[in-house]
Amino acid sequence: MSRVSCCRAMIAAVVLAGAIAADAGNMLRLHIGPLWPRVLLDSDKPTQWDLGLGYGFMFDKIVGIGVGVDFMWNRVVDEVPVAGEPGVYEMTRRESSYLFPVYGIVIVDPISRFVVHPALTFNLGYNSMVYNCDDEQELTTGTAPDDDPDGYYFGWFIRPGLDAIVNLGESAGLFVGVDYQWASTRSAKTEDGKYRRRNMSGVGVKGGLRVVF
């Protein structure tokens, strides 16, 4: 394809996007809730929290498209009392996971005119995670083992869900919902050419606010 053709295609895409946006309402979506990743189910603290923000367009208050970003976190600290020192504790393990998925949003809300109604949601995007795990030896000596799993992990992020929405008026509504996220993350290659993996997939529950204006 020539440069002229590419420029024409880009101009056409911009014009089409502008026309679509002009014919749609702006959508703002905020949610928070717990979820239970598979890799954490057997841990002392299996719950991970999720805070998310989305923005896009809603067409006739039935179909919505947009983009979103979440911040998910889980942090576990194990401590034991120090002998002979009441009220003093020593850390024996520290583990944390921080996820930053960025994704596209599709919403199907076919009966939005009713005060209480269901809506289907679908998210697809890219997930980044920072993972850190320090055991008692590492906390004591400050030296990490050769197979230290700490570092940056990444992978696809897919999340279908079902919401129940309660309209507060013409433009705003509260919702609660359940979803399942596929987020199998992997690290960079280790010295032996393999990947480390942490399966952050799991069921989540959320509540939040959606505004169309």
Q: How far is CA 51 from CA 9, 32, 114, in A?
A: 37, 4, 27
Q: CATH no. for residue 128?
A: 2.40.160.20
The Cα–Cα gap between 94 and 27 comes to 39
Whether the per-residue pLDDT at 210 is higher than 90: the answer is yes
The Cα–Cα gap between 97 and 73 comes to 6
Kindly state the average pLDDT of the residues 48-69: 95
Q: How many helices (H) and strands (E) does the chain have?
A: 2, 11
The Cα–Cα gap between 11 and 26 comes to 23
| Domains held by the chain: number | 1
Residue 13 lies in a domain: no
Whether the per-residue pLDDT at 145 is higher than 80: the answer is no
Neighbours of 106 (CB within 10 A): 15
For residues 158 and 123, is the Cβ–Cβ distance under 8 A? yes
Kindly state the average pLDDT of the residues 161-167: 96
Residue 54 lies in a domain: yes
Query: pLDDT digit string (tens) for 175-207?
Result: 999 999 999 899 876 666 678 889 999 999 999
> Which pLDDT band holds residue 101 (cuts at 50, 70, 90)?
very high
Write down the pLDDT at residue 93: 73
Residue 202 lies in a domain: yes
Residue 21 lies in a domain: no
Residue 130 lies in a domain: yes
Can you give the residue range of the structural domain that contains 148? 26-212
> Which pLDDT band holds residue 76 (cuts at 50, 70, 90)?
confident
User: Average model confidence (pLDDT) for the chain?
Assistant: 84
Residue 5 lies in a domain: no
